[in-house]
Amino acid sequence: MKKITQLLSAAFIFGIITLSSYQAKAHCEIPCGIYGDSVRIALLYEHIETIEKSMNQINELSKSDSPDYNQLVRWVMNKEEHAKEMQEIVSQYFLHQRVKIASSADEAAYRKYVKQLELLHHISVFAMKSKQSTDLSIIDTLREKLHLFEHAYFGDDH
Question: In the chain, what is the greatest distance between 2 CA atoms, to the nearest angstrom?
Answer: 68
Q: Are 113 and 99 in contact (CB under 8 A)?
A: yes
- Domains for the chain: give ranges and CATH numbers: 37-154 (1.20.120)
What are φ and ψ of residue 68, in 5° steps? -85, 95
Residue 129 burial (10 A CB sphere; 0-12, 13-18, 19+):
middle
Helix locations, the chain, DSSP H: 2-25, 37-62, 69-88, 107-132, 137-154
Q: What tens-digit pLDDT sequence spans the chain (158 residues)?
A: 566 555 445 444 545 454 444 433 445 676 677 789 999 999 999 999 999 999 999 999 999 999 999 999 999 999 999 999 999 999 999 999 999 999 999 999 999 999 999 999 999 999 999 999 999 999 999 999 999 999 999 998 76
What is the reported pLDDT for 31? 67
What is the reported pLDDT for 4? 56
What is the reported pLDDT for 156? 80
What is the reported pLDDT for 137? 99
Indicate the residue type of 110. Y
CA nearest to 86, candidates 54, 133, 49, 114: 49
pTM: 0.80
What is the reported pLDDT for 75? 98
